[in-house]
Each structure stands twice: as structure tokens, then as C-alpha cells.
Structure 1
Amino acid sequence: MPSLSEETSGSITMLQPGATIGIVGGGQLGRMMALAAKYHGFRIGVLDPTPDCPTAQVSDFQIVAEYDDRKAIHELAERSDVLTYEFENVDADALDEVRGKTAVPQGTDLLRVTQDRVFEKQFINDHGTQTAPWRQVDDFDQLVRAINDLGYPAVLKTRRGGYDGHGQLVLHSDDDLDIVRKREQDTGIFPPSILEGFVDFAFEASILISGNGKDFVTFPIVRNEHRHNILHLTIAPATVDDEVAQETEALALRLANGFELAGTLAIELFITKDNKVIVNELAPRPHNSGHYTIEACSISQFDAHIRGIAGWPLPKPELLSPAVMANVLGQHVAPTRAMIGAHPEWNLHDYGKAEIKHNRKMGHVTVLTSDTASAVSELEATGCWSDLED
């Protein structure tokens, strides 16, 4: 196995081309990490329970095992110079166990914070950044008290797990509260949760920041549009006032410094009608809303992630062209494939997933444009995404 260079960037040893990066998780984010790493001359191993998963298709080897298989994680560590992950639900204790065998530049503090919504909100608030008002709720009585504090509407979320709206319930009235009470009575379980007050936002947004443990760079703030709790469109850049852009970059830098960030961190935001910036959630990895960076920026979020965990210096990302990214879910695969020949402006990415499922992310389309509003209209006019119309 190639040895690490003695040259360092911050506290991270600088990885040399030819070294191996091990990725825990073999979905589309791992696939795009691996492709970026290949350009830099790295070899790739992946741990995933699905044989020939999307990441394995572009990697040097795969260990087929569950994500919490300690023996498999140790094997991946032994065969890799650096470990990274493509999603939050990784066993942080297992990563700590293998630090003597390989480098884990992202550490596990960031992972543990973002795995638990209470820890996440507390960390964000402790670093001078606003979130929605929230309360920790561990039983139904605490939920009632939290509703009395925050009022309706409010969002009840499990502390751990959940994505794309899973593990969430919007409470509009006491009738919805009764649903929660009945669920607890039927199951005998009230999962540790968090209640968040509703934010009357103008739009949803996100910003990416990448680091090598010492130096940090930000990508442009973008606007996100969701359908049925799944990201549908990302519009880059978002049209925001200067003070919003400045506050967004400042909060990203505060959080990155707090984590001594290595790799890419996504920060999901609410922009309110009076130009307040409120952090919704953090993702300790590249993010769906950053896929536009592959074509539209001087360095993609995946390039930046790989450079960061490899201890390489990071250039400031430049937006080379405005862009619109649209997710291709399972129900959109057939219509988008049928239109490839008619749309040379589409940069179509297919994730190589073996099974097409409704509402499963199967790929995305990015369009570079000087007029994002027209590009959105043209994408919608194709009818490929008509099932998502409000």
C-alpha cells in the first residue's frame, strides 16, 4: 500500500496519488466521490451490502457487508490509507476503533453531532447561528409542554435517522397530537424526538463549505425546491441580498471552524421574508443540492471533498455558469431517457442503480444557462416531472 507523505496540511497528512481511499456506503454520493478521486490518481475501495452498487462500478474493490459489520470496517481500514463516508448513518464507534489502522480525517465528532438532531441544533446555536425554535421531547408529556411553548404548526422529528421527510410529522392541531398519542399507546414506544417550531420562510436554500482541517472554502448559496419532502430542483445561484449572502458565508465558516472540517459539509437553510438566515440541518458530506457544481463550478463539491480529506490545498470555487439541477426519481427514468436525443443542453447523470423504484433518486439533470427561470420552465415543459406538479 502506498505510504502517506510526511508533508501535512493542518493536522491531516497529505495523501499522495496512488493511495487508497475507502468509502463507507456505495450509493450515488460515493460514486461521484470515487469518480472525482480517480481524476486525482487515487484508488478506491467501498463497503456496501449490495453487490455491484453504484460506487463499486467505478471502484477498485468492494467489500460486500452491512454498514455496521465491524469486521468488514476493519478490513476496509486495513486496505485503505484514508476512510470517508457518504451518509450519516455510519457507526462512529467502529470508525474510532480503526483509527490506529488508517486515517479518518473527518473524525467522528461531526458524525456524532449530525446523527442526533438535538446535538446538531445545540452545536449550531452554540456557534452563534440561528435555528428554528426547538425543544427536546422524550415522552408524550414533554411533547405537550413543548407544543404549549412553541405553538402550532410544529414539526416532530425523531432525534436519529430519517431523511427525505421520513421520521417527521407536521402537527397542525390537537387532532395531530392525538395521532401521536394513539401511536404511542399502540406501540408502547415514544422515540426520542425533537419538536421544531414552524418557520415562515420565503424559500429554502443551502450552502456548501469544504475544508482540509485548517483552511475552508465556500460554494455559492443556492435555492432549493422540494416536492413531497424530496429535493426536486436546485437553482444556482440563489437570488439574495448582499447581507444574506454575507451572513450565510459567515455562518458556514463558523461551523466549519467549530468542526475543524475536513471534506465537504452541506448546510440546509431557510431564508425568511425579512431576510433572516436560519439553519435547518447539516449533512457531513457532499449533498444533493451540490450536484450542479460538477458542470457549473471550477471545482465540484466532490473534488473539494476528496482534496479536503487528502489534506490538499483547496482553491476557491468559482461559479462558471448559472445552472439548474433536477433530480431524476424512479418514475422519471423512462421519460428522461426517451428525451436524451432532443436535449443536448442536458447533462444527464445516471447513478447505475440496479432497481428502479418510485421516488428513489436514480440520477439528475443539470442545465447550464444564462436564464435560470427559463431553464426551469423548459424542464417542466417536457412533462418528465409532471407527477410532481402541485
Structure 2
Amino acid sequence: MKFKDKTRQKLGIIGGGQLGKMMILEAKKMGFYVTILDPTKSCPADSIADQHLVADFDDREAIRKLAQKSDLITYEFEHIEVEVLKELEAEDYKIYPTAHSLEIIQNKFHQKNILIEEQIAVPDFKKVTDSADIKEAAQEFGYPLMLKSCTGGYDGKGNVLIDSQAEVDRAFQELGSSKAPLMVEKYIPFKKEISIIAARGLSKEMKVYPIGENDHRDNILYETKVPAEISSELEKKAEEFAKEVLEVFAGIGIFCVEMFVTEADELLVNEIAPRPHNSGHYTIESCVTSQFEQHVRAITALPLGDTTLLRPAVMRNILGSGEKGKAEIIGLDPALAVEGVKVHIYQKQISRPGRKMGHLTVTADSLDKAAERALKASQLIEIKGEV
């Protein structure tokens, strides 16, 4: 088989986790050849990739090899050696989203500064270098106060909530003291956390998905409900923010924009992810075009797909339970017997408490029905470590 447009033939993905796997499932439907780079031989995407380069994510030579094997490169997470990507772009290799946008988004402080410059509302923040800086910021922002690592954080890692001055030194030490760049943010007593998945293609065409309402537990996404129960005015403003973010970062591909809905019904942008996102998993069953298909379309210059919501949906993560050990799936049969349930098992070999091992999505005629069935199914299925 030959493509008239050779740039659509071979995709390289940095990362072979569940997001990479779901990208490949869609890419294969459209005839793409996919090579992944991941240090784990038995990673989720290994079984369906055409090639797997087993190498660390900071292995510059391996990333170069991936580029040489691919017509374009994308990635499933942000914590990548960006300098080699910048070098590859300078040599005319295609990388989407671009290394420039990734470099800014990798650092939450730089990310927030760019958003402020573009008049996109965010929580108040400051860079800090020691405990004294944190205490000084608290005089302005008050307690509680959120201390964040500027780089490297995910799923609650790299964030510490400080309730009082007595906790400042402990929180500072917990995030590595002065070994990594840190920032503080004013704590927002929000009414809701929402996120919006948006896509921008090489032609600059943009599409946004219905807004999800998110529930986090221990800083890990627990549940996403769609459509979010917000006013039409807030919905319109969130869509505008998402499109502005895509323009600001010259985004190509899928971006997720997470926001707070404040007590005063205002929107504040929390964080941006330049890739398909956990809160967008509902799109697989509930939208005409999933976020993963859309990402492939966007980065390969194909027309963007329809983002219409077909039915209300609730997505719940299936987190590892028990002890760290070989993953054992319990209760798949009864969970799938619940009406409208679709279960996605990521096939990670090792389970540990809090690790994302899979997710389930329920679609129904109403959001209440979907939520009720999602709760029932989530109580039936478990993935635990077998010691």
C-alpha cells in the first residue's frame, strides 16, 4: 500500500503507555505504520505497535533513531528530553505538538506566564526558591496555599497543599527543597473542575469537544461526567479559552485545558496538556470522533472529525489496589453485565495502589443513568497486585 502523501505513512510515538496504545488503535484503522519508543518491553502499546524501540525517554540517540524511522513524531506525555526534539525540528523532522510548545508547557511557571501575557485568567502564582519565599507568598495569598514543582509533576505528584505556616518547611523538603524549580499558587475554593479537549490541525482548523466535569480523589482523576453541568455562558467561555490556548501555543494535535469554576462563576485555567488526556477517554464511546482518532487526523493533515456528543457519558478510572505485584483482574464479567458499560484494560503487567490500570465508560440516555451504572460497575471490577 502506498500513500500519495508520504508524511502520512509512518508515525513515531514517544511513549508506549495506554495513551500511546489508544492512538495506535486509531492510527491502524487509517493504515499508518507505527513505531513506539518506551523503556518497558511489555508496555501496553507493545502488542500492537509495528516496531518497538526499547530505550529510556532521555536516550537522545534512540529518539533520533525513532525520528529516522518515522515521517513524523508525536508523544503521549510531556516529560521528554526537549532539546533533542528542538534539534530534530531544526533538521526538518516533523514533531507535533511542536518542541517549542512542549518546552513551555513542561514548565508550569512558564506556562502560566504565557497565559497571563495573553490575558487568559489563571490562579495567582509566584516562583519560590526557599521556605522564606513561600511564607512571604502566604502573606499575600493566604492559607491554604498550593506548592508545585514547576516541572515533572503528574497525578498529584509534585503538588503539596500547605494549610498553615507550620507545614511550610515540610512541604518544601517534600518537593526536593531547592533541587528543582518551585512555584506557589493561590488556593482556589472551586465549585467544579472542568476540562475541555480541543484539536487544531495543520491547516489551523479547530474543533472542540463537549466539556467534561471532573472529580479528583487524592489528586488523581476519579471520574469525568459529560456534559458538564454548567451554564451556557460558562460553556461558551471555556470553548473560547480552549481555542485561545491552541492559538497561543500554535498547537497541532489534541490539547486538554483544565479549568476551575470559582464560587463567583468565573473560569481560571489550571493546567494544559499537549496530548490526548485521561478526561477525554469518554470520547471513544460517546463522540462521533474519539480524541485519539482526532489527534492522528490533526498531526497528519487529515480533515478533523465531528466532535458531536452522541449520548451522555461517565468515565471512571480503574486504579490499582492491594499491594504492588503482578496485575490480577477481578470482576470483569459482572462489570460488563451492567448495561452500557465498556471496559478498557491497559494490560500493565504490574499493579500498585493508585496506578491507572484501566478505565470504564458508561453511555446512557441521561447523565443520571450513566452515573448510576458507572458507580455499580466500578464497585464490581478491581485490578490488584498479586503478591
- TM-score (normalised: structure 2): 0.91
Deviation (angstroms), 1:181: 6.0
Match among 196, 210, 216 for residue 207 of structure 1: 196
Structure 2 counterpart of 1:375: 370
Match among 352, 355, 359 for residue 360 of structure 1: 355
Asked if residue 92 in structure 1 is aligned to residue 82 in structure 2, the reply is yes
Structure 2 counterpart of 1:29: 19
Structure 2 counterpart of 1:11: none
State which drifts further: 352-361 or 241-250: 352-361
Match among 22, 29, 34 for residue 39 of structure 1: 29
RMSD of the alignment, in Å? 2.2
Q: Which amino acid aligns with 1:291?
A: H
Asked if residue 282 in structure 1 is aligned to residue 277 in structure 2, the reply is no
Task: Name the SS of the counterpart of 1:201 in structure 2.
Answer: coil
Distance 1:119 1:340 in 2: 43
Task: Judge conservation of contact 1:234–1:326 (CA < 8 Å) in 2.
Answer: yes
Task: Judge conservation of contact 1:48–1:64 (CA < 8 Å) in 2.
Answer: yes
Structure 1 counterpart of 2:141: 150
Task: Name the SS of the counterpart of 1:56 in structure 2.
Answer: coil
Q: Which has the higher contact order (CA 8 A, sep 6+)?
A: 1
Deviation (angstroms), 1:375: 2.6
- CA deviation profile, 1:142-185 (whole Å, cap 9, x unmatched): 2222111111111000111111111111111111114246669x
Overall identity of the aligned pairs, in %? 35
State which drifts further: 293-302 or 48-57: 48-57
Task: Name the SS of the counterpart of 1:58 in structure 2.
Answer: coil
Distance 1:342 1:86 in 2: 32
Q: Which amino acid aligns with 1:124?
A: L
Structure 1 counterpart of 2:7: 15
Cα distance, 1:271–1:336 mapped onto 2, change above 3 Å: farther
Match among 124, 135, 138 for residue 129 of structure 2: 138
Flag structure 2 segments of 5+ consecutive residues without an equivalent: 323-327
Structure 1 counterpart of 2:38: 48
Structure 2 counterpart of 1:250: 240
Task: Judge conservation of contact 2:362–2:373 (CA < 8 Å) in 1.
Answer: no
Structure 2 counterpart of 1:8: none
Task: Judge conservation of contact 1:217–1:317 (CA < 8 Å) in 2.
Answer: yes
Task: Judge conservation of contact 2:331–2:382 (CA < 8 Å) in 1.
Answer: no
Q: Which amino acid aligns with 1:304?
A: Q
Flag structure 1 segments of 5+ consecutive residues without an equivalent: 6-13
Distance 1:295 1:380 in 2: 17
Task: Name the SS of the counterpart of 2:34 in structure 1.
Answer: strand
Deviation (angstroms), 1:310: 0.4
Structure 2 counterpart of 1:106: 97
Task: Judge conservation of contact 1:157–1:169 (CA < 8 Å) in 2.
Answer: yes
Match among 198, 212, 227 for residue 187 of structure 2: 198
Task: Name the SS of the counterpart of 2:7 in structure 1.
Answer: coil
Task: Name the SS of the counterpart of 1:149 in structure 2.
Answer: helix
Structure 1 counterpart of 2:300: 310
Distance 1:81 1:279 in 2: 34
Deviation (angstroms), 1:309: 0.6
Q: Which amino acid aligns with 1:269?
A: M
Alignment of 1:74-93 (within 5 A): 74-93=64-83
Distance 1:222 1:181 in 2: 33
Match among 302, 309, 317 for residue 327 of structure 1: 317
Alignment of 1:149-168 (within 5 A): 149-168=140-159
Deviation (angstroms), 1:190: 5.2
State which drifts further: 353-362 or 326-335: 326-335
Structure 2 counterpart of 1:271: 261
Distance 1:141 1:360 in 2: 35
Structure 1 counterpart of 2:340: 345
Distance 1:2 1:95 in 2: 28
State which drifts further: 290-299 or 328-337: 328-337
Paired residues, what number? 375
Structure 1 counterpart of 2:325: none
